[in-house]
Amino acid sequence: MDTFEVAPPEEGPSLALHGGAGGRVEELTLAARAPYAQGLLTAYRAGWQVLASGGSALDAVCASVEVLENDPLFNAGQGAALTATGHAELDASVMTGAGRAGAVAASKHARNPVRVARTVMERTDHVLIVGPDVAFLERYGLEVVERDYFITEPRKQQLDHIMDGRAIAARHGTVGAVARDAGGRVAAATSTGGMAGQAEGRVGDTPIVGAGVYARDNVVAISCTGHGEAFIRGVIAYDVAARIRYADANLAEAVRGTFEHELAQRGSTGGLVAVGGDGRIVVAHNSPAMFSARGTGPEPALTT
């Protein structure tokens, strides 16, 4: 397992984000990693600008994730992985350290699923909405796009290779962010197009509170990426939080324990970004690679 740790800041906020765990970027027939690094940097700066101006952790993680949803290189929003029938079905979630949460699954029409998740949290009595129609989105002023908006040529080629048996279905690929703001509040957001070649209607861990996302003030905020079914079965995000809260583990110890007992024993891979209640950051994955950016200032450390 590869782990990167950033010490807690003496004062001020922390921010970490991921662009998916899995194989190397060549699976999309794009040789250069520089565009991915630039995408992560742009997303980090969007979130950091919020934090630096005194904004909330929730605003920061949503800003970062929205940038990644709009970048076709990542598996969220435009450029998302396609289902077996060639469509995009998108999932997203948000959670605050105060215990509020919202999520959307199998979203087909919203340009930015993370905005739908936040709307569910802030403007409805629900936590999870599945397949919201255009009328629902328009009622809340959310931007609607045609389904073809999400489809890119590299993803079509990827699906063709999977359906022809020339490639194994990519099991990973999600974006997410965690933050602690200047007021000590934490939040997390996660967004994905799911698994390339998945069945219509399949839902992974991303919109499941406690599996793909979790946040609790003074404890931790977590965003996960990986084999969604394993993350659901192991309740990965909550398991990390529980180790900290009930077993007095530090953040790095909690992440290692969860990976060893809940992922490795299932033969599954993935990763996560986490920020502790003190602002400490841990980025970890047991997959061959994971895109990430993390820091306690305007310029992050990047891994691609």
Provide mean pLDDT across the span 76-105: 97
Residues 6+ apart with CB under 8 A from 40: 17, 19, 68, 291, 292, 293, 300, 302, 304
CATH number of the domain residue 238 falls in: 3.60.20.30
The residue among 21 and 178 whose pLDDT is bigger is: 178
pLDDT-above-70 percentage for the chain: 94
> Quick one: which H or E segment has residue 253?
helix 251-258
| Contact between 291 and 194 (Cβ < 8 Å) | no
Residues 6+ apart with CB under 8 A from 286: 1, 2, 259, 263, 264, 269, 270, 271
| Contact between 3 and 252 (Cβ < 8 Å) | yes
Concatenating the DSSP letter of every residue in 21-62 gives EES-GGGGT---SHHHHHHHHHHHHHHHHHHHTT--HHHHHH
The phi and psi torsions of 75 (rounded to 5 degrees) equal -85, 70
Q: Band of the pLDDT at 26, cuts 50, 70, 90?
A: very low
> Quick one: which H or E segment has residue 118?
helix 113-123
d(CA 239, CA 245): 10
Token output for 163: 């359906």
Q: Which of 83, 96, 119, 174 is catalytic?
A: 174
**Tens digits of residue pLDDT in 275-299:** 999 999 999 999 888 999 999 999 9
- Taking the alpha carbons at both ends of the chain, their separation in whole angstroms is 16
The CA angle 196-200-204, to the nearest 5 degrees, is: 65
Q: Centre a 10 Å sphere on the Cβ of residue 38 and count the other Cβ atoms it contains.
A: 14
Token output for 24: 């190397």
**Tens digits of residue pLDDT in 197-222:** 999 999 999 999 999 999 999 999 99
Token output for 262: 């809940």
Work out the widest C-alpha separation in the chain, in whole angstroms: 54
Provide mean pLDDT across the span 253-276: 95
Residue with tokens 């609607």: 144
- Nearest Cα to 60, choosing from 168, 141, 177? 177
Provide mean pLDDT across the span 45-65: 98
Decide if pLDDT at 129 tops 70: yes
Provide mean pLDDT across the span 42-65: 98
Token output for 62: 């949503």
Decide if pLDDT at 29 tops 60: no
Range of the domain at 78: 2-303
Q: Is residue 174 among the annotated active site residues?
A: yes
Prediction pTM value? 0.95
HEC profile for 127-181? CEEECCCHHHHHHCCCCECCHHHHCCHHHHHHHHHHHCCCCCCCCCCEEEEEEEC
Decide if pLDDT at 261 tops 70: yes
User: Comparing 9-13, 175-179, 190-194, which segment has the lowest mean pLDDT?
Assistant: 9-13
Token output for 204: 């992974």
Total of domains in the chain: 1
